[in-house]
Amino acid sequence: MPRKFLKRYLPEAHHVRKHRTLRRVFGELLHDPNLWHLNRRSAAGAMAVGLFCAFVPLPGQMLLAAALAILCRVNLPMSVGLVWITNPVTIPPVFYTTYRIGAWILGRHGEPPEFAPSLHWLMQEFGHVWQPLFLGSLVVGTLAAALGYLAVRALWRWHVLRERARRRVRHRRPAKRGATRGHAVASRDPH
């Protein structure tokens, strides 16, 4: 999870600040340097914000993720980018699953109503599915956010410890070689 890997895929701050909608909605708040830092705390927080918002079954997930990133002062581009886990391809299976989880928690058994992409369906059937859908989405989003947060913290720490160990090994080898040479030279010196 190191900085170099993540920076390769995240947009630069000036590109995001130029985004018309974000600039109009958040204005000067986008100039907070904490929104652009990339460290263990900010990456883990951004993962939690992005994953939670990805499971919110409402339009405007990206704006919600940006608002929460600003509020929590975590990496903004990462938070907003993670919302795209739910995209036009993944939305049907994800929200069907969250609906089923919500229905199970509420004790509602049976199949959800057949989906038809029309305003008539939305007005007629949404009243039956919104409670399990929102509850399931809240539960799954919260669990995903918590697991994502812990995973990033653990992976980041593991990477840092691995790099420290590698550095120690690299620095130890030359010291041993130099010590052996010095020892060999010292043994030849009669004084």
Q: Which residues of 108-145 are buried (b: 16+ CB within 10 A; e: fewer)?
A: eeeeeeeeeeeeeeeeeeeeebeebbbbbbbbbbeebb
pLDDT digits (tens, 9 = 90+) for 117-170: 667 766 777 777 888 999 999 999 999 999 999 999 999 899 888 888 888 888
Q: State how far the Cα of 4 lies from the Cα of 13, in Å rounded to an integer.
A: 15
**Domain locations in the chain as residue ranges:** 3-88+146-188
Question: Which positions of the chain have pLDDT values less than 50?
Answer: 1, 175-176, 185
Closest CA to 127 of 142, 112, 137: 112
pTM of model > 0.75: no
The share of the chain scoring above pLDDT 70, in percent, equals 68
Q: State how far the Cα of 81 lies from the Cα of 65, in Å rounded to an integer.
A: 9
Element (H, E) at 58: none
User: Angle 119-188/91-106 helices, nearest 10 degrees?
Assistant: 100
